A and B are shown apart, each in its own frame.
Chain A
Amino acid sequence: MSAFFTKSMARNIFYGGTLFTLLLFLALTFHTTWRLPERDHRENLTAEVVRGKHLWETRNCIGCHTLLGEGAYFAPELGNVYPRRGAEFIKIWIKYRPREGVPGRRSMPQFDFTDQQLDDIVAFLKWTSEINTEKWPPNIKG
């Protein structure tokens, strides 16, 4: 780089450029936050859904599954599992996971959920499936 372009010019561009994009990003974030309620339907965030999210986290489901495409890639996408399978299927699936796994197959743990907990996790997955995700995933298989 030539002598016309000095270190202090480079430094000033760094400060200016960073500050500008940071403010722009904060403005976009502010606008997003303002628009979110109509997209996440937070009026449906019941106590069940909140408990469901807590179960989702404390069982570390994200360590195998993706949720809206984020997480691990070992097990199916669950952001749309509610429309894909329905409440009953999901509950029975979780309830009857064999404790010792399925021989030779990727296995999901037995979490010993109560019926209430099964309802909670389903409520969370249902709420999640209703988020406006710009039509992602491309199809119901996730």
Chain B
Amino acid sequence: MQLQYKSQAVAKPYFIAAIGLFVGQILFGLILGLQYVVGDLLFPAIPFNIARMVHTNLLIVWLLFGFMGAAYYLVPEEAETELHSPLLAHLMFWIFLVAGALTIVGYLMVPYASLADMTGNNILATMGREFLEQPLLTKIGIVVVALAFLYNIGMTILKGRKTALSLILLTGLVGLAVLFLFAFYNPANLVKDKYFWWWVVHLWVEGVWELIMAAILGFVLLKITGVDREVIEKWLYVIITMALVTGIIGTGHHYYWIGAPGYWQWWGGIFSAMEPLPFFAMTVFCFNMVNRRRREHPNKAATLWALGTGVMAFLGAGVWGFLHTLAPVNYYTHGTQITAAHGHLAFFGAYVMVVLTIISYAMPMLRGREANPERAQVLEMWAFWLMTVSMVFITLFLTGAGILQVWLQRVIPDPQEFMVVQDQLALFYWLRWIAGAVFSTGLVVYLYSFFAKDKPQTAEVGAAQPAAS
């Protein structure tokens, strides 16, 4: 089994780095989860805010590694030509990895205020806002890497076949880079700051990232099921139309209580209430394509990941998002554990799982085989279930905590202090941590599956399969 284009191989280090950083993210998730109940754990060496930054920034960075790896893998195949510059891709890989690692080391070793002083935050203050905590230098690094990456991918598409699938991916990636520029806009006026902060955060996950996700899913389904490209690409357009038509004005569900005019309760509420539609369409799309498959692809694990993404993204983003998106509900749930519950299931179900889907499909190819040996696949599928089910439990426990929190702190006639309420939620936080430990076990099984060997494959399995078309 050979790669169709040998420059696709540059995807491999991107995927490996993604998985490595994923492990780091989860380790810090476990620390955070413990700090919720053992408040002074690791204090003052690693205060909660620092650990949280590491957890969320690693998440974003490894997903970006995953997206870039996905693009480097699928664009040459779609464009039917070698990547414009594999060298540039390798170079950017190392720049991004080193910049990311230095940033994390900076968070952990240097007090945040000193880090800000050392890295030019006094020239242009961009730090200290949720998810955008990176030093100015790191942010600039991200822009440089993104530009070089887009240039590389863009040139490849330009000189080769232009499929709808790769154009949708490219649109999503360009959108990602352009919207990130709002990370450099930090006005002294908090209301304006918050208003445009969401143009990065919301317009990413409920906008352009959905294009990237749809394209990756479409590619994997195309390869695995052998369904007609026309059908798949038509679906993709329907999905991304729904995504952007609902998601752009849906940004308004974050404008209810931050100082923007009250009419956003209507605009944001109505449009964001329709945001589950594209996620539902993705679920239907996944199952539909697999049911109409024209071939039996030997990579069962990748099929499972693709279907899982469809279901879990709908649950996390669609169902858990809808739960608290209408203004009268959000008035009570805003900024509680309900938000955390949704954040976890949505990020996991949509973006973590779609990256693991493309890794599951592409990694065997990158290692010179169409699919992994049977035992490796079985282990990978165990990892799928362990991680997915435990993430559902994390979500359920946080939702339980959130309902109680809202009740005690915001609903009852004699509402209680924040910390008084938190103490009463300890049981839920312990249960969440146990679910997190199971998640970590799943992750270990996942890592192990890459090294699992098999008794020699039966000859006819390999021979009976037509080559991917």
Contact = CB atoms under 8 A, between A and B. Distances in A.
Interface in A54-79: 54, 56-64, 66-77
B184 interface: no
A53 interface: yes
A64 B49 contact: yes
Nearest to A5: B234
Given A60-B112, A105-B39, A106-B39, A69 B261 contact: no
Interface string A126-141: 0110011110111101
Nearest to B168: A14
Contacts of A32: 195, 255, 260-261, 264
A10 B335 contact: no
- Size category, B interface: 35 or more
Contacts of A131: 190-191, 258-259
A40 B259 CA distance: 6
B125 interface: yes
A72 B410 contact: no
Given A11-B164, A58-B121, A73-B335, A100 B44 contact: yes
Contact of A63 (B52, B231, B264, B415): B52
A18 B244 contact: yes
B418 A109 contact: no
Given A104-B40, A132-B259, A25 B410 contact: no
A114 B257 CA distance: 32
A53 B190 contact: yes
Contacts of A105: 39-40
A57 B129 contact: yes
Interface string B218-259: 000000000000110111011011001100110110111111
Contacts of A18: 241, 244-245, 248
Given A40-B191, A72-B48, A141 B410 contact: yes
Contacts of B128: 56-62
A21 B249 contact: yes
Interface string B253-274: 0111111111011010000000
Given A59-B113, A70-B194, A77-B335, A107 B39 contact: yes
B52 A72 contact: yes
B441 interface: no
B419 interface: yes
B127 interface: yes
Contacts of A31: 261
Contacts of A64: 47-49, 52
B331 interface: yes
Interface of B: 35-36, 38-40, 43-44, 47-50, 52-53, 112-113, 116-117, 121, 125, 127-130, 133, 164, 186, 188-192, 194-195, 230-231, 233-235, 237-238, 240-241, 244-245, 248-249, 251-252, 254-262, 264-265, 267, 331-332, 334-337, 339-340, 409-411, 415-419, 422
12 contacts: A1-B238, A21-B248, A39-B261, A50-B188, A60-B49, A74-B49, A106-B39, A109-B44, A134-B256, A136-B257, A139-B415, A141-B417
